[in-house]
Amino acid sequence: MRVALLTEGGYPYAQGESVAWCDRLLHGLPEHDFEVLALSRGRQQELGPRRPLPANVRGVHTAPLWGPPQGIAARPGAPRAWARVARAPARRFAECFAELVAALCPGYQPLGEAQPARQADRFADGLYGLADLAAHHGGLSTWLYSEHAVRALEAACRAPGAPRAVHGARVADLLAVAERLERALRPLSLGWYEAEGPGAGELCHAVGAGPAALAGLIARHRYGTPLLITEYGVRLREHYLASAAAHTVPRSAAGAPVRALLAAFQVRLAREAYRRAALITPGDTTARRWQERCGAEPARLRTVYPGLDARPFRAAAEAGSGRGAAFPALVWVGRAEPGKGLAGLLHAFHAVRAAEPAARLRIVGTPARGRPDAGYLARCRALAARLFPGPAGPVTFTEVGGADVPTLADAYAAGGVVVFPGADSGFPLPLIEAMFCARATVATDAGAVAEVVGGAGLVVPPGDRRALADACLALLRDPARRARLGAAARARALDLFTVERNVAAFDAIYRELGRTARSAAGLATEPIPAAGRPGERV
């Protein structure tokens, strides 16, 4: 198949797990041809290193979601001038943009209620109307930077039933929203959707339901191209809660109108993407629930877990988990940053140490994306020194890549019990790495942790230091149980969370959607592969 892979702020330029997942997907599906359509988030990203592309990537096309729009010049620091537009197209633009922004300011709907169909239709009418205008008149930047856009935003904010947070929107707020919407809607003005353009494949696969999905929506709107959406994480959750809270936020709160309108736009865009997608593949049940809450039909949702390469962790699994040692070390592995639960772990370990003086804790840091929070790590070191005074305390801090821990697998192999006390809402990839290493784990019940662990580890309530300490003690004192849980964890991870399983699932999905599209077009379809359709996981 010819697949257009749509990314935002990710592959092939940035670092991160979604980038690594895209890389594994493309390398794992050599029988499919890909065009990568990438929306970049900054100049540094585009200038930075790029991942080597496999032979089945026919091209990479990049467009920026940053910087000033093309064709509109302004002196640095000068107030933005109104753009002049032709009268007839401006009238049509005003109608379409008014429909779109009116859908951002509906009357109050209690959290969890289904979205009124009329609001979805207004957003869709405005969005595809703007896309058609962009195709016929060379883009939208001039219009989105015009007085028409600001007036439409102002009218929506003053409409009866509009969210409380936007009632007091000032001109500066409206200008800021118009500028951000211009960037988010830039995909509508790209030349990716021509009959022979890079977006004219047999399938569009969007990584996320944000601006990257716009390219897939336009390809579907113009040519009926099927749209597949994959989401690993719950970024939509923050937009959804911010949009719902806009009816209770005081209008005087700083930046409230801008945040409320942009959050509403992201939610509406995601709803439209879910509404039009042929299939949506969340990475876990938590993401699936949020997608359903935002309008995705359960029949078109199929959970596909992220896949990791198990090979680097094989040696650690074969080395065992310290069954013969009475008290192997507890190990924490990850990026030292707020939300990872390091402070709570140190307090819980204080209770472990009181019950078992031979217990030890190793804190192993992994390379941080972006700017590391050195202050947080310093505070954790200070807390450890205060809780465990003395020159040779039971807590050690080290990093992957040093002489003691040269590789990530060595970090997990440094102890018999791996602890994950954080409250992250995303998919716990480090937990899967520990499971590959056949390590017994103790983790906080957050995000998809319980779903990943199953019955192959201990899960404790968030914020319960006593429960965390008791679970660690239970495993430290029972070598046979550690070994049994470690073996079960590795077997579960190899069955559910390998890159091979993930790639096979998407290969089957591509073929399934391709057959459906060809059948709808009256074309001959390829035979169903022997592997068949992957099973659904809920």
| DSSP H/E element including 19 | helix 17-28
Compute the distance between CA of residue 308 and CA of residue 126 in angstroms, rounded to an integer.
40
Distance (Å, rounded) from C-alpha 29 to C-alpha 383? 48
Q: Residue 467, Cβ neighbours under 10 Å: how many?
A: 18
- What pTM value is reported for the model? 0.86
Q: What is the pLDDT of residue 87?
A: 66
Q: Is the dihedral of CA 491, 496, 498, 501 positive or negative?
A: positive
375 pLDDT higher than 70: yes
Percent of the chain with pLDDT over 90: 55
Q: How many CB atoms lie within 10 A of CB 173?
A: 21
Closest CA to 178 of 116, 124, 246, 257: 257
Q: What superfamily does domain 311-496 belong to in CATH?
A: Glycogen Phosphorylase B; (3.40.50.2000)
Minimum mean pLDDT among 81-85, 106-110, 279-283: which range?
A: 81-85
Mean pLDDT of 239-268: 69
Q: Does 311-496 match 2-300 at the fold level?
A: yes
pLDDT for position 457 = 96
Residue 291 has pLDDT above 60, yes or no: yes
* 189-193, 218-222, 360-364: least confident range: 189-193
Structure confidence by residue, pLDDT tens digits, 310-321: 999 999 998 875
Q: Domain boundaries in the chain? A: 2-300, 311-496
**pLDDT one-digit tens code per residue, 507-531:** 999 999 998 877 776 666 555 443 3
Q: If you average pLDDT over residues 207-227, what whole number do you get? A: 92
CB under 8 Å to 179, separation ≥6 — which residues?
80, 145
Q: How many CB atoms lie within 10 A of CB 28?
A: 17
Model confidence band, residue 418 (pLDDT cutoffs 50, 70, 90): very high
Q: Which of 85-94, 323-332, 483-492 has the highest mean pLDDT?
A: 483-492
User: Looking at residue 271, what is its pLDDT?
Assistant: 92
pLDDT of residue 77: 41
For 2-300, CATH number out of 3.40.50, 3.10.50, 3.30.1130, 3.30.390 equals 3.40.50
What is the number of other CB atoms lying within 10 angstroms of the CB of residue 12?
20
Q: Tokens 């990710």 label which residue? A: 10
Region 156-176 average pLDDT: 86
∠ CA(141), CA(119), CA(125), 5° rounding? 45
- pLDDT per residue over 114-159, tens digit each? 455 677 889 999 999 999 999 888 788 888 888 888 999 999 998 8
